[in-house]
Amino acid sequence: MSTQNALNETTVTTTEASDYSNWQKDALAETQHQAGQLPVNSLFTLAALDPAKLKPAPIRPHWILEGNPEAKCVNLSNGTRGWTSTDHWSCTAGKFRWHYGWDETVLFVEGAVRITDDAGTVYEGRPGVSLFFPAGTSATWEVPNYIRKIAFNQRPVPVYLDFPARVIRKLQRIAGLEGRRQNGL
């Protein structure tokens, strides 16, 4: 499916797609996507990356260090419990300091950026490059012309929930109840 299609949310449910081969499922999803239909009993969210659908999302003025960077963003999906989100984001030329309140993994899809962390390490962002920013950190972004990314965001787990969750996972592993991840995932 082309990433230039309009951003529409749709899904192919298991019952609708069970009689279709893989290419037929793709064709059905593409048809529903183009028509802007969202089945009532949808399980999944399908979103295309369309720069034309990005909406203004101004950078906080006191974060801007140089220039007049214009950021735009559109939400692609949200987790069922509000702990995760996926966003499509772009920004024009400028320099700014970004402060991360959530864990954020980005995948750059267009343009270039130079990012400097608090230790002075410089990271070059370009299409196909991924970078992880832990919650509570900050970075200086220098965008020479334009950058576009997909951001995978996760709210950090509060300490009072993290420890019990780790204990439960360990007990599940000991009891053999935890499913094994494949290929290190």
Q: Which of 139, 152, 73 is nearest to 105 (CA)?
A: 152
Q: Which of 169, 49, 46, 183 is nearest to 107 (CA)?
A: 49
For residue 184, pLDDT beyond 60: no
Residues 6 and 91 in one domain: no
Pairing status of strand 113-117 against strand 55-56: unpaired
Supply the pLDDT for residue 181. 53
The alpha helices in the chain, defined as continuous H runs, are 14-17, 22-35, 159-175
> pLDDT digit string (tens) for 113-167?
999 999 999 999 999 999 999 999 999 999 999 999 999 999 887 777 778 878 8
Domain final position from 11, 32, 48: 48
Please give the residue range of the domain that contains residue 28. Answer: 1-48
- Report the share of the chain in percent with pLDDT over 90: 54
Residue 184 lies in a domain: no
Residue 162 lies in a domain: no
Residue 174 lies in a domain: no
- End-to-end alpha-carbon separation of the chain, Å? 25
What integer is the mean pLDDT of 31-37? 49
How far is Cα of residue 7 from the mean position of the Cα atoms in its chain? 15
Structure tokens that stand for 23 in this block: 């290419």
- What CATH number is given to the structural domain containing 67? 2.60.120.10
Supply the pLDDT for residue 38. 56
Q: Which of 152, 162, 161, 1 is nearest to 78 (CA)?
A: 152
Residues 142 and 63 in one domain: yes
Q: Which whole-number Å values give the CA distances from 66 to 9, 49, 126, in the listed order? A: 36, 28, 21
> pLDDT digit string (tens) for 71-86?
999 999 998 888 899 9
Residues 60 and 27 in one domain: no
Residues 19 and 107 in one domain: no
Residue 137 lies in a domain: yes
